[in-house]
Structure 1
Amino acid sequence: MTEDIHFHPTPDAGVGELSSVLQATLPLLSQLLEAVPARVVVIDVNERLVWANQEFFRFTRLHPKQVLSQPIARIIGDAAYASYDSVRPRLASGQTVAWEGWTALAGMGRRYMREHLVPVDVRDGVPQATVVMSLDLTELKRRDAELSAKVAELEASEALKSSIFDNAMAALVSTDETGHIVEFNPAAAAMFGIAREQALGRAVAEVMIPPQLRAAHDAGMARVTAGGEQRVMGRRVEMPALRADGSEFPVEMVLWRTAVGAQTYYTASLFDLSERQTAQGEIERQREALRQSEKLTAMGSLLAGVAHELNNPLSIVMGRASLLAEKMTGHALAADAQRIHEAAERCGRIVRTFLNMARSRPANRSEVALNDLATAAIDMLAYVLRSHGIAVTLDLLPGLPPVKADADQIGQIVLNLIVNAQQALGLRDHGRQLTVSTGLAPMTEGDRRRVPRVWLRVRDNGPGIAAELRERIFEPFFTTKSEGVGTGLGLAVSRGIARDHGGELTLQDDEGISAGACFCLQLPVSGEPEARDTEPVPLPDTDEQSARLLVVDDEPEIAELIGEMLAGAGYEVMTAESGAVALAMLAEARFDAIVSDLHMPDLDGAALWREVKRTQPALARRMLFVTGDTLSPTARQFLDEARCDRLNKPFAKAELLARVMALLQP
């Protein structure tokens, strides 16, 4: 705004009436206050703006016609107006008020203001007007805050650098351009065997460089100082160094230069290579042994692969030789067929030997105390549980019978259940509780199980497992944990181990417990599978001689061979070349049992079993899987899950018939 603003009160000006004294002084005050480098306004007794200097209009960018005679609350905004609530009573009593601070002005945002409010023209103890003088210190305040922040940042940076320097694992030594030590961190003191106070101010060559290298060091420093070639600057250099006791040791050094104002400093980062050089000799000694081990490993993998690939043709040779010998009974060539069968059977034994060599070590089963495993697991995880604020309760039945089991495998199950519970309890804010209990399963009169069973439960009061997920938590690679936590294999592997010991691992539904999860591990004392009292679906009675069998294999020769063997034993046999064809045949005809290959290209044996289990549960329990993939963890895991019998290739006719006969038993 460039025009001069002067106030001349008139009856129709729309402003509060002012005393004659104030009216007489305003022109003089106007001239005086226009020269003040601050915003000055006059507010009447009704809190309306009646006068303002040019600085006010420049600051607010408002025109006099917009604000004169307007309530001050409308001009500065409700938020700013409310901030004067504590000031008004003091002004009304005639007190001068000074304040400064942040306020929110309409159209101006947050501003830092310093104000003096002076009540004037007091009549009957009531000021008729208030003169307000304001200074906007926002930019000054912001620059002050920025400066303070930069100072704090600089101090933090210096503290960080000092902390890094003092706590670095590498020895850090700084010198001035004359080669005298100005910094010597604790790692350097430990490496060279000399205190920092003793090293500061001394020539670096005297403290840490062997005598035979000091001349070269001095020459190099002189060359660099004169602006010559920097041969070692910024490069990793291995060299001998000198300890305070006079002994030499190998170090790796990186040297760099830093300019601070007119001063130049050199800093060396040093690593002790003594252990590395000692280890290099051992590495060389072990390298040849490693080469031999790698050769053996590669050979073992090759043998295992070759053995697996031989299973199918060996099965055909053994089976066909057996059938040929039967057909030529009494003929001179029968003996030749028998020799072929015996040779193929010998090859089969060699293949099995290769496969057994490639397998991991068999389980070492002995009598194991389940209570001891539980106690050991809690002891092992005691710190983790305690640091996570988890209260642990052990409720172990005294005198619990020992279980014939692999202690490492069962211990793995217990550890996995406790770790899962600890991770689940991490989602609970407080009151975290974990209970591990053991007991002996009751045996009722007439119970078909002749071996007692023991159980172990791990219960937590965490968030629990949603109902829709309870059936899936034992599936491989399925996990309810966040990304990066767990693989989804723990429960699947644990259940497989339990079933391999004739037991079971389940998620229990505990009535009366509103939150948390309870996993129960049951094991027979014998460690072997046992007969069950009840089954989900009863097996139908089958006349063994009239049983109809379905053979499924994607290799026609294998399917034909198995079919002929079974047909020769009196069974009615149909074959399918794939899992998909088998499903179509199952939808059209009744079968009493299924003999299936495990690995097939379109629908494999595992997928076939799951579909049969969904549509014909009883038949799913009468499936025999023929496989040569005994090394595959996936195959073993599925077969443990399905609890179906298996027949490893190559196989003899008698072995096949015995498995099928057992399969058809009610």
Structure 2
Amino acid sequence: MTARILRRLREANDWQTEICAVLTELGHGLDVHRSILFRLREVPGKGFAQSIAAYWVDDTVESNTEPPTLIVQSIVNNDPLLERLAEEVRQGKIFAGHTRELSGFLRQDFENQKIKSFLSVAVFAHGHVWGTLAVNDCLVEREWTGDEKASLEIVASAIGDTIERSLSDTNVSDIIRKTMLQASLDGIVVIDETGSIIEFNPAAEKMFGWERAEILGKDVLDTLIPEYYRPGYATGGEYMSGRGIPMIGQRLETVTQNADGEIFPIELTATEMKVADRRLFFGSIRDLRDRRRAEEEINRQREKLHQNEKMAAMGSLLAGVSHELNNPLAVVVAQSTLLHEFAPDPQTKSRAEKVRAAAERCGRIVKSFLGMVRLHPTTQTETDLNQVVRSALEVTAYGARSGGIGIDTDFAEGPVLAMADADHITQVVANFLVNSQHALAAIAADRRIKVRTFRTASGASGFSVEDNGPGIPEEIRPRIFESYFTTKPVGVGTGIGLSISRSIVERHNGRVRFEPVEPQGARFVVELPAVDQSIAIAAAGRPAASGLRNALIIDDEPDVAGSLADILELMGVKSKLVIDWTSADEELASFEPDIVFSDLRMPGVNGMVIYRELLEQRANLAQRFVLVTGDMIGARAEIEALPAHLRPQLLEKPFSTLDVRGVLAAITDQVTLAR
């Protein structure tokens, strides 16, 4: 038996591949019930411990069921017998006898394992005690013979030689494994069959906030597994053997917790290993928090792009709708204006004025919607905030009426002027009004929204929108202007309204703020730089247009062209109507216009094409050309592509008498300056 074991060990490249077979043959050869190879290892923070490198048991002995015991330094320090044996092992002495002759920890442990007789010798490698080789009889108290002791010593010596011989190769492998373990960007956690953590690499320390020396030996169930997964399991080993089995050999996403109790998502790859009849579980853990944050940001950007696409699509749709609506509205406004002008009695005048006012209101609503959804650069002009707020109230009036919400207005006297893009500021006011309507939806009491315009002592102009809803909780107030932050239910809000509003106001060099309202409610206040009042008064006092006598009107809608001609006739301007444009040569051959009005969008020909064609024939018409359009946003984009001195005037449909008079005045000013 001894010769066969020696030959096997001598031929082995790695003692670990042969040790199980060696212990089996040793147990049968000595007719014992257990053969064990112990190894002395240093456990961080706990000193040396005697662990099990490998063991064999005789399965025919029913009482021989307990595995060998791992003995740590703290147990040795508190037991005189163990302290003496540790010293004798270092001296190479044989430890043999019967369990009943022992005391302290060893006697209790051997009795628990049903050991009757024991024999143990030291294993030396490189001049140091590497471990011990032991055999046990679990049925009888036997006296160990000299041959048996000699055989055990020879086998222990051969194991030591083999360990020394194979250390050169395995040491390289150990270094590689340790380096990989230390350098791994993923957290590596290894636990044994009891759930105790036996390995914890630097990446795991960083991920979980535990020091390696602090967590080694602790149960994974009490440290890394969230509390709501723990009920029903006594240890982490039981967890892995129960619910944890589906994890083995799989890569899955789950959650864990760190030293502070924070739950966070991870990707776990779990592998089971068998080492000397022990079950070890190797876990490779990847923190998914950064990935989840990146995915959330991608989703936010995707949603933002989706919203922009929807806004662009809505803008294109409303551009077409506005063009179709503004043509008949232009006729209604113009004809009702003329009817009011020539009405023979007060009743007819009053009715005509109501028709005109309603048609103009429809036109303003269409313009406001179009201006809000079409993305275009901010064009800041002299703007009356009173009129801007009125436009926003018209756009949102239906929602307020249907929700039973009362609107209180407090407009400052006279124009509240600011340098602003009227469309964009209208969008800001409308956003605030819609938010207030949503906030009041769940209020059963009197629902009120208060809108006011004002001038500040420093000269700024502004407006505010206030409601008596539930208000905004203090803890989320700092975030209300963030993109995609919303407290509204899914499908009600996108979380971009206040963010866009703040962006618009800041582009106007203005300020927007939230103010709580007592006893409850919310108020949003916007302040914009004011316009010099003297400039505004001077602009308002400009003289009416004069000196224009003949107009050329080009429009494929006869009613629109006729209505414009009727208004011009009231101002002393005769008109020639062209419904189907042919060429500049033909139209100018028998008619010399002082001013030209052309629709921008017409089938077959574009107003800008006509403009360029006329300039080739009459360069002086550059200051006398007016584009008539229901798509002011699209028209501005085309006009701004031209040099400043060649940009025609714009007349927006539906137009009133005042709008036409303003265009005539502007043309007269241009002609006067050009002379």
TM-score by length of 1: 0.37
Using CA pairs below 8 Å that are at least 6 residues apart, which structure has the higher relative contact order? Answer: 2
- TM value normalised by structure 2: 0.36
